[in-house]
């Protein structure tokens, strides 16, 4: 909502206190439109002239009021807006009609004056609505909304001016605590609780379950609460209309959030079950890894021990992903953390004693779905293993690094490199018998729809690029 145009202040057309009042009205205009199901406009008089500036305008989110072109900031003469001008001249609240367009039903229009601190009329509010929303009851609602707009305003209570929706029950209450307006949504909610007619009832009646209304009346401050009653979960909000320190009206909002809270509980249970499944999968994978380690220790074949060690690392890489998933609510992971753990794990388990290794790790936060995270974890494992096994033959020291970037043209880019001996002459990654390279190729090109490069440049570089999103996600 735009704040009152600065040119009013610069030209000295409004006193500071008056412009503050108009700004406060503008801040609450959207709520007024939602409650009244109308198009609400604020017209400000330009000095002592017969001109008006449209300072603000909103349309109900419910869409029941007609759409009007955005003309905020335009200037109108008194003859162009006769009802508005009459209200500004006389201070009367006027009900009339506006012809919208040739051949269309006229709109019903209600206008209300806005008084400055010194009692002068500086602006007018108009509510434009279709014939469906007219009648004595609706006029009571419009009057209450108008009173709210020009009432005392505490900036700390801005939270209460959240959107109101068509399914929300709305009650207007007078200064004696009697309900003087109830919309159809409120009537429907209370009918489910066995309460019939609402008009004329007092809000403190136990059957209405509106304890927050009493507190709002006493304190003059908005109140909000949620309660379970009669098998329903109700979200309630009370906004007192305070004038000169006294509550003169009150708006109450009652929403049936039973199904919403039920779905939230179901999601919490589902999330807990999924986390427990990930935890058990992690434990099972670690058990398998332990069995393979035991088998490796008993084997007399160096080739078998090496193969089992590689298998253990693959299993633990996938296990790490499930460990992260078991500790959070969502099925997405920051793979930078996973990559770091696997990078350290593989180097620790694969580097022979006495070999001097330098590690370089650079990763941006990259959040991926669990399936992609598992694939990326396995790829990190395979490429780091390959670098350690084949990159430093005949050497006693070397450097191995990992770079992960997530903001490369909607892609995730992973690079693993070393300063070793490089690739063999005439190396062809599509024909190599290396199981690790075959696994990476399959994961990248077939499963993830990405690209995989392998080249020598002061060592070996493996570069993988995968889309952050794939079709069907």
43 by DSSP, 3-state: which?
strand
330 by DSSP, 3-state: which?
coil
Residue 309 lies in a domain: yes
If asked whether residues 308 and 337 sit together in one domain, one would say: no
d(CA 139, CA 151): 18
DSSP conformational letter for 92: -
CB-based contact 37:64 (threshold 8 Å): yes
The total number of residues shown for the chain amounts to 473
Give the residue-averaged pLDDT of 54-73: 72
Residue 157 lies in a domain: no
Please report, for residues 191, 198, 225, 399, the alpha-carbon distance to residue 207 in angstroms, rounded to integers and kept in the order given. 11, 11, 17, 75
Residue 42 lies in a domain: yes
CB-based contact 144:241 (threshold 8 Å): yes
CB-based contact 420:391 (threshold 8 Å): yes
Residue 170's closest CA among 147, 199, 149?
Answer: 199
CB-based contact 421:357 (threshold 8 Å): no
Residue 143 reports pLDDT greater than 90: yes
If asked whether residues 356 and 446 sit together in one domain, one would say: yes
Residue numbers of the domain that contains 186: 162-256
If asked whether residues 345 and 450 sit together in one domain, one would say: yes
Residue 441 lies in a domain: yes
Reported as a pLDDT band with limits 50, 70 and 90, residue 473 is very low
**pLDDT at position 67:** 56
- Residue 14's φ and ψ, nearest 5 degrees, are -135, 140
Residue 372's closest CA among 471, 443, 446, 274?
Answer: 443
Residues 6+ away with beta carbon under 8 Å from 125? 25, 40, 41, 42, 43, 111, 112, 113, 114, 146, 149
361 by DSSP, 3-state: which?
strand
Residue 360 lies in a domain: yes
If asked whether residues 348 and 362 sit together in one domain, one would say: yes
If asked whether residues 417 and 431 sit together in one domain, one would say: yes
Residue 44 belongs to domain with CATH number: 3.30.450.40
At 306-360, the pLDDT tens digits run 888 888 888 888 787 777 777 766 677 888 888 888 888 888 888 888 889 999 9
Please report, for residues 292, 302, 444, the alpha-carbon distance to residue 352 in angstroms, rounded to integers and kept in the order given. 19, 14, 30
If asked whether residues 285 and 324 sit together in one domain, one would say: yes
At 167-226, the pLDDT tens digits run 899 999 999 999 999 999 999 999 999 998 899 999 998 888 898 999 999 888 999 999
pTM for the whole thing? 0.63
Determine whether 443 is exposed, middle or buried from the number of CB atoms within 10 Å of its CB (0-12, 13-18, 19+). Answer: buried
If asked whether residues 126 and 235 sit together in one domain, one would say: no
Reported as a pLDDT band with limits 50, 70 and 90, residue 70 is low
Bridge pairing between strands 223-229 and 121-129? unpaired
If asked whether residues 1 and 130 sit together in one domain, one would say: yes
Q: Picking from 68-82, 84-98, 175-189, which range would have the lowest pLDDT averaged per residue?
A: 68-82
Instruction: Considering only CA atoms, give the Rg of the chain.
Output: 35
Q: Is the dihedral of CA 111, 115, 119, 122 positive or negative?
A: negative
Domain count, the chain: 4
With b meaning 16 or more CB within 10 Å and e meaning fewer, what string describes 345-362? bbbeebbeeeeebeeeee
Residue 432 belongs to domain with CATH number: 3.30.565.10
Residue 471 lies in a domain: yes
Please report, for residues 29, 58, 65, 252, 403, the alpha-carbon distance to residue 61 in angstroms, rounded to integers and kept in the order given. 12, 9, 9, 19, 48
If asked whether residues 186 and 216 sit together in one domain, one would say: yes
If asked whether residues 73 and 192 sit together in one domain, one would say: no
If asked whether residues 371 and 402 sit together in one domain, one would say: yes
402 by DSSP, 3-state: which?
strand
If asked whether residues 70 and 107 sit together in one domain, one would say: yes
Helix, strand, coil fractions of the chain, as percent rounded to 5: 40, 30, 30
CB-based contact 185:166 (threshold 8 Å): yes
Please report, for residues 13, 75, 314, the alpha-carbon distance to residue 71 in angstroms, rounded to integers and kept in the order given. 21, 9, 64
Residue 223 belongs to domain with CATH number: 3.30.450.20
Residue 156 lies in a domain: no
Q: Which of 330, 353, 384 finishes a domain?
A: 330
**pLDDT at position 11:** 47
Residue 472 reports pLDDT greater than 50: no
d(CA 188, CA 192): 7
**pLDDT at position 264:** 82
**pLDDT at position 440:** 87
Residue 240 reports pLDDT greater than 90: yes
């Amino acid at each position: 909502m735009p704040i009152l145009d600065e040119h009013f202040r610069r030209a000295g057309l409004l006193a500071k206190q008056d412009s503050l009042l108009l700004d406060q009205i503008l801040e609450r205009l959207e709520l007024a439109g939602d409650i009244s199901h109308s198009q609400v406009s604020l017209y400000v008089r330009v000095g002592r002239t017969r001109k008006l500036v449209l300072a603000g305008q909103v349309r109900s989110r419910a869409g029941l009021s007609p759409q009007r072109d955005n003309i905020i900031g335009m200037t109108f003469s008194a003859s162009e807006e006769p009802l508005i001008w009459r209200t500004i001249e006389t201070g009367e609240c006027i009900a009339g009609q506006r012809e919208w367009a040739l051949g269309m039903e006229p709109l019903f229009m209600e206008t209300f004056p806005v008084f400055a601190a010194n009692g002068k009329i500086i602006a007018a509010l108009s509510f434009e609505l279709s014939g469906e929303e007219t009648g004595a009851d609706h006029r009571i609602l419009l009057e209450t909304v108008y009173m709210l707009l020009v009432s005392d305003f505490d900036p700390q209570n801005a939270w209460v001016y959240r959107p109101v929706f068509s399914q929300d029950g709305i009650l207007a209450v007078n200064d004696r605590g009697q309900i003087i307006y109830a919309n159809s949504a409120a009537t429907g909610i209370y009918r489910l609780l066995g309460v019939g007619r609402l008009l004329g009832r007092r809000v403190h009646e136990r059957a209405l379950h509106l304890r927050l209304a009493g507190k709002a009346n006493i304190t003059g401050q908005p109140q909000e609460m949620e309660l379970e009653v009669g098998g329903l979960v109700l979200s309630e909000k009370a906004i007192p209309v305070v004038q000169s320190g006294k509550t003169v009206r009150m708006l109450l909002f009652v929403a049936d959030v039973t199904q919403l809270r039920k779905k939230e509980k179901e999601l919490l249970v589902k999330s807990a079950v999924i986390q427990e499944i990930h935890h058990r999968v992690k434990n099972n994978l670690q058990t398998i890894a332990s069995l393979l380690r035991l088998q490796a220790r008993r084997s007399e074949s160096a080739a078998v021990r090496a193969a089992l060690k590689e298998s253990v690392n693959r299993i633990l890489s996938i296990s790490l992903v499930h460990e992260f998933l078991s500790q959070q609510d969502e099925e997405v992971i920051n793979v930078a953390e996973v990559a770091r753990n696997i990078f350290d794990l593989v180097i620790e388990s694969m580097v022979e004693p006495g070999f001097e290794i330098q590690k370089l790790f650079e990763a941006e936060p990259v959040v991926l779905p669990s399936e992609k995270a598992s694939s990326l974890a396995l790829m990190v494992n395979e490429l780091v293993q390959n670098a350690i096994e084949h990159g430093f033959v005949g050497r006693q020291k070397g450097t191995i690094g990992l770079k992960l970037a997530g903001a490369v043209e909607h892609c995730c880019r992973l690079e693993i490199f070393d300063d070793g001996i490089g690739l063999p002459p005439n190396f062809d990654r599509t024909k190599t018998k290396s199981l690790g390279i075959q696994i990476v190729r399959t994961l990248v090109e077939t499963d993830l729809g990405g690209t995989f490069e392998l080249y020598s440049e002061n060592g070996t570089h493996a570069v993988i690029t995968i889309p952050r999103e794939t079709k069907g996600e």
